[in-house]
């Protein structure tokens, strides 16, 4: 199954969700290597990126041309978000996604992310600014609404489509739910019924079983997977294949699993440098050790700032015999 977004064909319609501090270039590259219709960058603050604040440009370094990649922008000012859109298009972005779903207080406190759902007229001004600034497709990610008294996703979806947005991703929670409770996939169907553009379901889709139910209840055209990919970068391809949308991934085991983890580790170190890279990759090593069932003693030894020690212990920690 293929989703058309502008002139782009996204196949399979199982996409990697943007996750702050997680979906950097090395991880996106790894997930894409198993098979994903689209990978989305970490949320990038528009004004900070245009003004080249430290650490922000790196988030937008996406490995253009390697896979279908979307850059997700956040902002509250039409000028800055439009300038950021122009900048990332100039760097080769194929799709630009607008963030209206992040529930974090530091984002909503700045009137960005899901806070925009409280001010739909202002949100539409940002959407119109981005669509008018670039020639690549613009998509939108949002929640069901701000809270249970403000479930306005269908209305915003209609207005966004009219403004030129070409795909919507809906997280099946309100902002005030944060990540508590369960995603309401059935409520996404109201958005699907309100528009003609593709709608992607998001929230609590972590494996094949949850993917099947989410698709059935939402009527969505595809899905976006976040934490289900942590420690299992093949998960998107696994879900797609189970739904009849692609070939089965070769899930790495034994030495192949160790080699995959080692390559991810080394690419992260090379991307960020030793000090920062060692900190960033630590969470991924923890998830890989969850998958491998690593014992507590060895797990503690691996989660260290000593990069050489990590290299030495990785095979044993990932369940393979140490090879001299």
Domain-terminating residue out of 242, 266, 283: 242
- Which is it for the CA torsion 268, 271, 274, 276, positive or negative? negative
Annotated binding site: 18-20, 72, 141, 171, 226-227
Residue 324 within a domain: no
Residue 69 within a domain: yes
CA atoms of 39 and 14, how far apart (whole Å): 9
What pLDDT is stored for residue 324 in this prediction? 31
What pLDDT is stored for residue 137 in this prediction? 96
**pLDDT tens-digit series, residues 102-156:** 888 888 777 788 899 999 999 999 999 999 999 999 999 999 999 888 899 999 9
Closest C-alpha among 95, 99, 96, 98 to residue 68: 95
Instruction: Give the count of domains, the chain.
Output: 2
Domain-terminating residue out of 242, 277, 299: 242
CA atoms of 190 and 289, how far apart (whole Å): 40
Residue 250 within a domain: no
Residue 305 within a domain: yes
Domain-terminating residue out of 242, 273, 298: 242
CA atoms of 11 and 68, how far apart (whole Å): 9
What pLDDT is stored for residue 58 in this prediction? 53
> Any idea what the CATH number is for the domain that residue 202 is in?
3.20.20.70
Mean of pLDDT values over 252-264 = 95
Query: Are 14 and 148 part of one and the same domain?
Result: yes
Catalytic residue among 49, 50, 56, 102: 102
Query: Are 155 and 183 part of one and the same domain?
Result: yes
Most confident range (mean pLDDT) of 4-13, 202-211, 292-301 is: 202-211
Look up 150 and say whether it is catalytic.
no
Give Cα 15 to chain centroid, integer Å: 7
Annotated binding site for FMN: 18-20, 72, 141, 171, 226-227
Residue 14 within a domain: yes
Residue 49 within a domain: yes
**pLDDT tens-digit series, residues 18-58:** 998 899 999 999 999 999 999 998 888 888 888 876 555 55
pLDDT band at 323 (very low <50, low <70, confident <90, very high): very low
**pLDDT tens-digit series, residues 153-192:** 999 999 999 999 999 999 999 998 888 889 999 999 999 9
Give the orientation angle of helix 78-90 with respect to helix 120-133, to 10 degrees.
Answer: 30
Query: Are 58 and 190 part of one and the same domain?
Result: yes
Query: Are 84 and 7 part of one and the same domain?
Result: yes
| 197 within 8 A of 168, measured Cβ to Cβ | yes
The domain of 260 spans 255-317
């Amino acid at each position: 199954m293929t989703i058309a977004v502008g002139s782009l064909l996204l196949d399979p319609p199982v996409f990697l969700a943007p996750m702050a501090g997680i979906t950097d270039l090395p991880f996106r590259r790894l997930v894409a290597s198993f098979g994903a219709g689209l990978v989305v960058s970490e949320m990038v603050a528009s004004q900070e990126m245009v003004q080249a604040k430290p650490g922000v440009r790196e988030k937008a370094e996406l490995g253009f041309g390697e896979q279908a990649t979307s850059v997700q922008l956040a902002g509250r000012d039409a000028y800055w978000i439009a300038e950021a859109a122009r900048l990332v298009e100039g760097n080769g972005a194929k799709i630009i996604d607008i963030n209206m779903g992040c529930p974090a207080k530091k984002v909503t406190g700045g009137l960005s992310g899901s806070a925009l759902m409280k001010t739909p007229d202002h949100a539409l001004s940002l959407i119109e600014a981005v669509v008018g600034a670039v020639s690549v497709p613009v998509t939108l990610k949002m929640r069901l609404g701000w809270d249970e008294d403000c479930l306005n996703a269908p209305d915003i979806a209609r207005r966004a489509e009219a403004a030129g947005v070409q795909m919507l991703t809906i997280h099946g929670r309100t902002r005030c739910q944060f990540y508590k409770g369960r995603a309401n996939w059935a409520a996404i169907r109201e958005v699907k019924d309100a528009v003609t553009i593709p709608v992607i379901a998001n929230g609590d889709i972590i494996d094949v079983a949850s993917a099947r139910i989410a698709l059935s209840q939402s009527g969505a055209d595809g899905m976006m997977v976040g934490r289900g990919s942590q420690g299992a970068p093949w998960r998107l391809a696994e879900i797609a294949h189970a739904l009849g949308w692609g070939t089965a991934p070769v899930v790495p085991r034994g030495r192949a699993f160790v080699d995959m983890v080692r390559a991810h580790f080394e690419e992260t170190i090379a991307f960020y440098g030793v000090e920062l890279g060692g900190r960033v990759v630590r969470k991924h090593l923890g998830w890989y050790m969850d998958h491998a069932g690593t014992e507590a003693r060895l797990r503690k030894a691996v989660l260290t700032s000593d990069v050489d020690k990590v290299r030495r212990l990785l095979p044993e920690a990932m369940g393979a015999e140490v090879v001299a």
